[in-house]
Amino acid sequence: MSAEAQARADDPQETSRDTESQTGSSADGPQATTRSTGARAGSGGEAGADGPQEGGRRREADEQGDSLPYGLPGKPLTRGPFLFGLVGGLGVLTAIAIAQMVVHSLSTIILVVVAMFLAVGLNPAVEALQRRGLARRAAISIVFAGVIVAFTLFGLAVVPPVSQQLADFVAAAPGYFTELSRNPTLRQLDTDYQILQQLRTFVTTTLGPSLATGIMGAGLVVLDGVFTTVTLLVLMLYFLGSLHTIKAYLLRLVPASRRERTGAITEQVLSGIGGYVAGNVLISVIAGVLTWIFLSVAGVPYALALALVVALTDLIPLVGATIGAVLVTGVALLGSVPAGIACGVFFVVYQQVENYLIYPRVMKRSVDVTPAVTVIAALFGGALLGIVGALLAIPVAAAIALIIREIVIPRQARY
């Protein structure tokens, strides 16, 4: 044994250090071997390992590309403060644009809503004909033909008397001037102040052009009314024919767990609206028929036209019957004072019969709304949309009351 080995054997610390160095070298050997092996395999085997993965990605992209005709979506944009402000500003501008479009197209929206309202109201008549064995198309054709006949009769009853009265006034206008010129008092005033000359000048220079402009405007109003009526009838026919399809499509937007209950509530709302429209039309027909019978017996001229005016105004809730009664009574007073008084008495008595006998019996199965809610709804509807709003307010209030009764109140009762 050499002196160096003897010294190491005699020194325990040196022996321990030698043992640790040997153990560390032997322990690091496999790791070093693994690292060297991985380094050697990385250069040659990386391409081989990534090849199948890249091919899989490409096949998956191709399959998704087949299902997405516009390609794969890109990465989402980074959500920063600038993007947040930009999206918020675009949202505000979009809301303003939508509001402007609604305001400018309000008349069209009202026309569509009224057409849908009338279609829902006429649907009970169509279903009644279907229960008698007719196909839905045939039933819709019969109901639509009845509506066309009603509009035609109204026009034939109202337009000729108005045209005749205007023609009579125009033909009698020169005679009125002649009679005025023969009056002694007026002749004296004309000698002192030239009243007739100033009247002729006013008629020729101011009243004549104004009347011509008014006639042109009235003609445009009539044409616009005819166009609106035709559009309303076409939309009503479309909605009446596709009512079940529209309802089924809208119900598909509801979650499947709530679809059955929503469908039942929708059916009840639609039946209530249909019953209200049918009942309101029936009450108006009764008012028109009774008014025509009374005016014919009383000898009031243009009894049919005035009766149609009463039937039309009676459709307006709250004030419609009063408006029609005042108009007809005023026309009757112009012809004869006793006839006008008789008309006033007749309408007072009939309003009591309609309010306390006819209306409750007809409307008891259609809408379930308290009188206070009816008045408030009609006032709000009239303030928002005029006559159309007053007509739509009561069934809308009935639908809201039904939803509250069937959904809100039971939910509140559970908690």
pLDDT means over runs of 10, the chain (415 residues): 44 44 42 40 43 58 62 67 84 93 88 88 88 90 89 79 72 70 73 72 69 68 81 90 89 89 86 82 90 90 86 83 89 85 92 85 69 79 80 82 82 80
Q: d(Cα 181, Cα 198) in Å, to the nearest integer?
A: 13
pLDDT value at position 3?
A: 43
What sign does the CA torsion over 335, 340, 346, 348 have?
A: positive
Residues 6+ apart with CB under 8 A from 57: none
Q: d(Cα 327, Cα 288) in Å, to the nearest integer?
A: 14
pLDDT value at position 1?
A: 44
pTM: 0.63
Encoding tokens for residue 374?
Answer: 């009816």
Encoding tokens for residue 57?
Answer: 């990605």
Q: d(Cα 194, Cα 410) in Å, to the nearest integer?
A: 81
Residues 6+ apart with CB under 8 A from 307: 288, 289, 291, 292, 295
239 and 143 Cβ atoms separated by less than 8 Å: no
pLDDT value at position 12?
A: 44
Q: d(Cα 321, Cα 329) in Å, to the nearest integer?
A: 12
pLDDT value at position 20?
A: 42
Radius of gyration of the chain (CA): 43
pLDDT value at position 396?
A: 83
Burial 150-186 (b: 16+ CB within 10 A, else e): eeeebeebbeeeeeeeeeeeeeeeeeeeeeeeeeeee
Our separate counts of H helices and E strands in the chain read 17, 0
Q: What are phi and psi of 276, to 5 degrees?
A: -65, -45
SS3 409: helix
Encoding tokens for residue 2?
Answer: 């050499």
First to last CA, the chain: 97
